[in-house]
Amino acid sequence: MTDLTVTKVVAYIAEGPAPSDLAVTKVVKYIVIDTGSIGDPGSVPPARRRVRVTARAAYVPT
Amino acid sequence: MTGIVFAGGEIGAFVPADSDCVESVTSGRFDSARSRCAIRVYNISSYAESRAFASNLTTMFFHADWGIENADASEQTSVAFYDSGGTEVFRINRSGGTPATIKPYYWNGSSWVATGSTFTVSAPQLMTIDLKVVPASGWELYINGTLRDSASVVMSAFSNLSKVRLKGTYIGYNFWSQVIVSGTSTVGLRLVTDAISGAGNSNNWTSGTYADVDEQAYNDTDGLASATNNQVFLCAGSSPSLDGFTVRGVIVTARVRQGTLLNYQHAVRSNGANYFTASQAVSAGYGAFVGIWETDPDTTATWTGAAALAAQFGGKSIT
């Protein structure tokens, strides 16, 4: 047991994209649309107004 | 008044915590007319974390499509909100079984407090939720546009909201899509995905094309790379149907990692001119980046549908 002994040797290679470049791997565009104010707490739809229509007819002698 | 501070429905607006958080095309769990996938989260330890909101909100509206796959085994947190100090301060839990009980909680500084009157939802289903949280006065929860639960309560342990985590389940999945966060009401809003369909007006990045960043399910094995300051790339969109509705904003998201260059700007091209956001610092690992144009930078007025659809989009590398 006087000799230096090596029982296992492994080589590894680290890999990956070049670290020197700023990289973008996914891009998405979205559009926000407003389908209306259904249930919108800040925009209560106008209440239906009950409109009373009255008419007065008058007899106008001819 | 603060408007839209965050939007997105895929990785790029969100960072996945682990491999239990992926983009899924399971039908019936997202609005396929307006989205191309949902973020599917499985496992209670997994989540998709949003980019920090563009500003901290003292009145927050959170909008999302929430697809529920199965009855869960027991109560768990489905979505969690954080304040600017990084503390989780508000959450929505879903109980086990079906129909399940939906229960909002707030953090009082030492424990979680349930308020409001709980209500039930069955599984599976897809629902649109809008949550309004005002730390100073209370919260309201809308399901499919209808107010279903609320509480008037002063939540003095926090004063703002600045980030959201979309969380998973014990059994089955939570599916999240069409996320919009704003300081004004999100009820009635929808997020339409305008995915890349081809090259835009220019691309002078060192390597890569639009085809390297157009994927539905994210992968980092290909991408655009920039070794020189001020390189710009632009892409064309797929022109989805807006159904004639009013446009409230154009959003661009990107999954970006630093190199020698340390900053990134989102770009839109409207009426022949390029416009950029302020620089956002990029970290060594891939992060989520969101650019927001609530108005058309060409006119400084509300976007027309035609202009929003025609707007090319991309990004610029910055020292």
Of B218, B240, B247, the CB nearest to A26: B218
Return all residues near A56 (Cβ < 8 A) that are at least 6 apart: none
Return all residues near B309 (Cβ < 8 A) that are at least 6 apart: A31, B194, B237, B239, B240, B242
Q: ipTM of this predicted complex?
A: 0.93
* Count of CA atoms in the C-beta half-sphere (13 A) of B105: 22
The identity of residue A32, as a single letter, is V
With cut-offs at 50, 70 and 90, classify the pLDDT of residue B129.
very high
Residue B15 phi, psi dihedral angles, 5° rounding: -110, 125
Between B2 and B179, the more confident residue is B179
How many Cβ atoms from other residues are within 10 Å of residue B19's Cβ?
9
- pLDDT (0 to 100) of residue A56: 54
Question: How far is B163 from B80, CA to CA, in rounded Å?
Answer: 9
A22/B249 CB distance under 8 A: no
Judge whether B57 and B160 are in contact, CB under 8 Å: yes
The identity of residue B204, as a single letter, is N
Q: For residue B111, is pLDDT > 70?
A: yes
Q: What is the pLDDT of residues A20-30, one digit of tens each?
A: 899 999 999 99
DSSP state of B212: G
With cut-offs at 50, 70 and 90, classify the pLDDT of residue A5.
confident
As a whole number of Å, the CA-based R_g of chain A is: 41
Q: What is the pLDDT of residues B26-56, one digit of tens each?
A: 999 999 999 999 999 998 999 999 999 999 9
- pLDDT (0 to 100) of residue B99: 86
Judge whether B128 and B63 are in contact, CB under 8 Å: yes
Per DSSP, chain B holds a count of helices (H) and strands (E) of 1, 26
Task: Say what the alpha-carbon torsion angle B176, B182, B185, B189 is, to the nearest 10 degrees.
Answer: -50
Question: Residue A19: its chain B contacts at CB < 8 A?
Answer: 259
Q: Which residue of A has its CA nearest to B7?
A: A30
Tell me the nearest-neighbour CA distance from A23 into chain B, angstroms. 4
Q: What is the pLDDT of residues B251-304, one digit of tens each?
A: 999 999 999 999 999 999 999 999 999 999 999 999 999 999 999 999 999 999
DSSP state of A45: P
Tell me the nearest-neighbour CA distance from A8 into chain B, angstroms. 32
Q: For B69-83, what is the mean pLDDT?
A: 91
Which pTM value belongs to this model?
A: 0.89
The identity of residue B98, as a single letter, is T
Judge whether B247 and A32 are in contact, CB under 8 Å: yes
- pLDDT (0 to 100) of residue B8: 97
Structure tokens at B306: 């035609």
Structure tokens at B18: 């682990």
Q: Which of B96-105, B168-177, B292-301 has the highest mean pLDDT?
A: B292-301
A30/B215 CB distance under 8 A: no
Question: Residue A16: its chain B contacts at CB < 8 A?
Answer: none
The residues that bridge with B265 in the sheet, in sequence order, are B316
Question: Residue A24: its chain B contacts at CB < 8 A?
Answer: 208, 213, 223-226, 233, 254-256, 264, 315
DSSP state of B51: P
As a whole number of Å, the CA-based R_g of chain B is: 19
Between A57 and B133, the more confident residue is B133
- pLDDT (0 to 100) of residue B236: 97
The residues that bridge with B287 in the sheet, in sequence order, are B256
Q: What is the pLDDT of residues A21-57, one digit of tens each?
A: 999 999 999 999 999 855 433 333 333 434 444 455 5
